[in-house]
Structure 1
Amino acid sequence: MSSRLLTDERQPLLPPHEQRQQADSERSSSSSDTLLPEEVENQIPDGSKLNLRLAWSLLVDAIPVILSYTLQNSIQATSVLVAGRLGPEELATSAFSVMLAFVTGWCIALGGTTALDTLGSQAFTGGHRTDLSIHLQRCIVLLLILFIPVGVVWFFIEPLLLALGQPASLSAGVQRFLRVLVLGAPGYIGFESLKKYLQCQGIMGASTLVLCIMAPVNLFLNIELIHHTSLGILGSPAALSITYSLCFLLLIIVTVRSPTHQRNGTWGGVEFRTVFQPRGCLSFLQLALPGILMVGTEWAAFEIVALAAGRLGELSLAAQSVIMTTDQILNTIPFGIGVAASTRVGNLIGTRSAVGAKHAAHASAFVSVVVGTIVMIVMMACKDVFGYIFSDDTDVVGLVSRVMPLVASFQVADGLAGSCGGVLRGQGRQHLGAFFNIIAYYVLALPLGITLAFHPKTHLGLQGLWIGQVVALFIVGFSEYAVVWVGTDWEQEVIKGIQRNEEEAKRRSIQLSSE
């Protein structure tokens, strides 16, 4: 099998969607041997031109993904803002509930679907395209099962919050909020899974289109249910649940009607017996569970910083709200680049192109560094006036300007963490991302930040908390880049990809023969 990789210098380095436009689609969908025709190979540029072309193509793929996650974040933000018009208690309840939903529930969808970054993207170009639909069905079913204990916790979370020292009114309100939000979990998980299914095929803009349609619908639902019905604050989770469900249904319609999806031939029908095959489920969970840890540990760390900032007083909490809102928006950029990178790397591993996957990995790191540098420069240039976007209070603006250089300083590292994390997901090494996050945030950064913020000898306040986050992101970013740069045997990753595809195909053939 490894001798097959000797032809890698002639393997496709172009983006998969460009390969499909130039190569014969029937040949590529029916055979695992996906070498480009000779006339196409001769058109592939060399050296720096190739890297720049890959970098530009990755950025183009990342833009709709960035917009998609920005719109998705805006749906939650809209819900909090509309509910907040009822009063400060309702604002606290909705904001706290949405935060808990992200950290404990939605990270199962966002983290668990990273298994599709590996299995789906490699299957799509590895000669077994209809296996992608099996991975999709398995993803939805298993993530719904994983969510069940989370849903139970949501239903009875009030005693837990009280034990953690939260006010009684807030604890009761959060429990009522989350009990309604449980209804939106199937829609959220289904939407995220189907979105990844399409991204594995290079269809990046479908979810963006759906969210562009649903964002104003979500605003309307929130206003109507919260302010014009007897639901009150519970209209917020009801609106979110309806929005998530409609997003999933609308994305199904877009997928069915997509000419590109029809040409790709990835849907093999509903196959429950194959989906529930034990070894296939185990293989999926071996990637999904570390993916959940990879996403959840980072999100939880930032939420812990937000909770710690609340103990520093109203001024620090206000400045923290400004900075966290800004960081959540900016984080969609490296996250989008990471999604594009995971798809590209997985696709190229599926085509057995070790050289192509390596080039794509380095191109994604290059894009993230360039974009991160630009963002850093802009943030530094406007740090003294940026706070006025959110507040007229000069004390808040002043504290934001003092903390903003710290946030700006980790943009390059955050970009590397996003892009290289995507590369690791494309390879199927989510466990490394989870490991780096746990060490960087929970062993080093959070203890350091909390000590700097609250210790009498330092008492750096909000700046101390963010110094810890800067340390964490630099550790994660450069550690993951080191793994991609020197810790990856790309030919071995291709062999692993071939084995994954062959194992799934074998399981499917055994299932078919038994029927």
Structure 2
Amino acid sequence: MDAGTTLPARPGWAAEARATAALAGPIVLTNLSQIALALTETLMLGRLGTRELAAGMLAVSLQFALLAPGFGLALAAAPLQAQARGAGRLGGGAGRGWVRAMRRASRAALWAAAIALLPAWILLWEAAAVLRALGQEPALAALAQDYTRAALFGMPAFCGFVVLRGFLAAMERPAAAMWISFGAVALNVPLAWALIFPAGLGVFGAGLSIAIANGGMLAALVLVVLRDRVFRRFALLGRLWRPDWPRIREVFVVGLPISGVLVLEIGVFSAAALAMGWFGAVAVAAHAIAIQAASATFMVPMGIGQAATARVGLAIGGGDRAGAARAGWSAVALGAAFMASMAVTLVLASPFIAWAFLDATDPRAAEVAALGATLLVIAGFFQLGDGVQVVAAGALRGLKDTRVPMLFAALGYWVLGLPVGLALAHPAGFGPPGIWVGLGVGLAIVAGLMLLRWRRLSG
């Protein structure tokens, strides 16, 4: 089938839910496989000891906070690509304008992400100094820097993979990215084990294996785009060395608010990790367990939200506002249903999940497991809000509505959520669990605001 052929419409709510689920499935599995990269390394670092696990948590928290601007600009390609293809459908696929628009959006997003990553590299190279300035123990900060100095070389590849994955989603063929991610996980497990343990590289080895995995995923996806009969006609990487400044500016206009949301959301969890550091290595290790489990469940609604971006963008580009509304609300319902089931799972299975990350011979393992189980129960109670807010944000991105959601995130996470958490942790005396209660409050507020925004714009 030609890339520009108009596809059959999918009328009705049930059909839209099936279409969204079909598109979201491979994207969700891709997200889960990517979180599995970090999860397997966290499990391995937990076998090294509590300090190594805590250092890895601090390193990953700082890295993701600094990756957020580049990640957000890479994600900005998706609505631009989807709306361009939707416009091509509206015109019956005639002409090459929509093909050129998809190509320009993809290349501009690669450039924008690369620009945003430059300051992140500098800060991650000196991560120890950054973490010490944020009140972390010097020994933990030094171990964390070992990780970031290795892992930072994979960050451009990760952003490039996100841009090309968005292109595949807009083309409604996301399976290649999924299989590549599966392959990366399968290869990373023995590679990370070899680097961390037999090679004796410890935390540095964990960061190095992640960098290698990200580089391999990008290389594999580039091969797919270059070799596939339909994809290669877009010439996505042609003349990549020539910046398209008008389109790069458009990516920044759409993408900077997305980056802002990511900075605010990732930043608040990173700030929570740093606040845990004030309570010692046990609290940081328990936080690492809870955040890894919550991140794993979050990957599913995040993938549904990415599918919503594509489905809403395709409908809007094709002039079908009713279809865009169905796509968004169907995605929200799917995300909410999944996260409700995960809430029950985290609450009921919290002790088992916590112990899965720990070596029973570690003298502090029981203390970490007890606190980790408590945090997992709290995480269970904010699953629904977390899922709804990320899916609604994805639907809004399909409309290229990104600035107001950024303001919602600032209000919910930083003005209300984090201050409530810190107040509960310190003056109120609840300690680490208080911080997580505050995170839950922030997520619930953002979810409500995102839903109201989507209802207003999609009606």
TM over 0.5: same fold? yes
Match of 1:196 in 2: 166
Question: Which amino acid is 1:418 matched to?
Answer: V
Alpha-carbon distance, 1:230 to partner:
6.9
Aligned twin of 1:134: 104
Q: Which residue of 1 aligns with 2:405?
A: 433
Structure 2 partner of 1:175: 145
- Mean Cα deviation higher: 338-347 or 188-197: 188-197
Note the C-alpha offset of 1:157. 3.5
Q: Does 1:111 align with 2:78?
A: no
Counterparts in 2 of 1:86-485, with a 5 A limit?
86=48, 88-105=50-67, 107-127=68-88, 128-229=98-199, 231=201, 233-258=203-228, 261=231, 265-267=233-235, 270-272=238-240, 276-312=243-279, 316-382=283-349, 387-390=354-357, 402-455=374-427, 458-485=428-455
Q: Does 1:73 align with 2:43?
A: no
Instruction: State the shift of 1:443 in Å.
Output: 0.5
How far off its partner does 1:436 sit?
1.0
Assess if the C-alpha contact under 8 Å between 1:449 and 1:469 holds in 2.
yes
Which residue is 2:26 aligned to?
64
What is the Cα deviation at residue 285 of structure 1?
0.6
By how many angstroms is 1:64 displaced? 1.7
Q: How far apart are residue 319 of structure 1 and its match?
A: 4.1
- C-alpha offsets along residues 493-515 of structure 1, whole Å, 9 cap, x if unaligned? xxxxxxxxxxxxxxxxxxxxxxx
Task: State the distance in 2 between where 1:95 and 1:375 align.
Answer: 23
**Cα shift at 1:313:** 5.5
Partner SS, residue 130 of structure 1 = helix
CA contact (8 A) 1:346 1:427 kept: yes
Query: Which residue of structure 2 aligns with residue 17 of structure 1?
Result: none
Match of 1:504 in 2: none
**Distance (whole Å) between structure 1 residues aligned to residue 370 and residue 308 of structure 2:** 38
Moved more, 166-175 or 189-198: 166-175
Residues 116 and 200 in structure 1, CA contact (< 8 A), matched pair in contact too: no
**Is structure 2 residue 20 aligned with structure 1 residue 54?**
no
Change (3 A) 1:268 1:152: closer
Give the distance between the partners of 2:328 and 2:117, measured in 1 at CA: 32
For residue 383 of structure 2, what is the amino acid of its counterpart? Q
Amino acid paired to 1:311: W
**Aligned-partner Cα distance in 2 for 1:454–1:284:** 41
CA contact (8 A) 1:90 1:233 kept: yes
Question: Secondary structure of the residue that 2:235 maps to in structure 1?
Answer: coil
* Aligned residues of 2:57 and 2:288 also touching (Cα < 8 A): no
- The residue identity in structure 1 corresponding to 2:438 is G
Instruction: Pick closer, same or farther for the CA change 1:231–1:473 going to 2, 3 Å.
Output: closer
Cα distance in 1 for residues equivalent to 2:320 and 2:183 = 38
SS in 1 for 2:337: helix
Identity %: 24
Looking at structure 2, the residues matched to 276 and 201 of structure 1 have their Cα atoms a distance apart, in angstroms, of 24
Q: Distance in 2 between matches of 1:229 and 1:318?
A: 24
Q: Bigger shift: 373-382 or 275-284?
A: 373-382
How far apart in 1 are the matches of 2:337 and 2:231? 32
Q: Is the 8 A contact 1:124 1:266 kept in 2?
A: no
CA distance in 2, matches of 1:212, 1:294: 28
Quick check: 2:378–2:436 contact (8 Å CA) kept in 1?
yes
Unpaired runs of at least 5, structure 2: 89-97
Equivalent AA in structure 2 for residue 124 of structure 1: R
Give the C-alpha shift of residue 236 in structure 1. 2.9
Tell me which amino acid in the other structure corresponds to 1:57: A
**For 2:276 and 2:436, how far apart are their aligned partners in 1?**
10
TM-superposed deviation, 1:440: 0.5
Report the 3-state secondary structure (helix = DSSP H, G, I; strand = E; otherwise coil) of the residue aligned with 1:129: helix
Unaligned 5+ runs, structure 1: 1-20, 491-515
Cα deviation digits, residues 128-161 of structure 1 (max 9, x gap) = 1232122111111221121111112222343333
Pick closer, same or farther for the CA change 1:252–1:302 going to 2, 3 Å.
Answer: same
Matching residue's letter, 2:392: C
Aligned partners of 1:320, 1:247: CA distance in 2, in Å?
29
Rounded Cα–Cα distance in structure 2 between residues aligned with 1:153 and 1:320? 23
Whole-angstrom CA distance in 1 between matches of 2:371 and 2:149: 37
Mean Cα deviation higher: 461-470 or 174-183:
174-183
| Residues 132 and 267, structure 1, Cα contact 8 Å, conserved in 2 | no
Supply the RMSD in Å over aligned alpha carbons.
2.8
Look up the SS of the partner of 1:126 in the other structure.
helix
C-alpha distance in 2, partners of 1:161/1:201?
42
Change in 2 beyond 3 A, CA 1:119/1:152? same
Which string of whole-angstrom CA distances, capped at 9 and with x for unpartnered residues, describes residues 144-185 of structure 1? 121111112222343333333333333344334433333223
Tell me the TM-score normalized by structure 1. Answer: 0.78
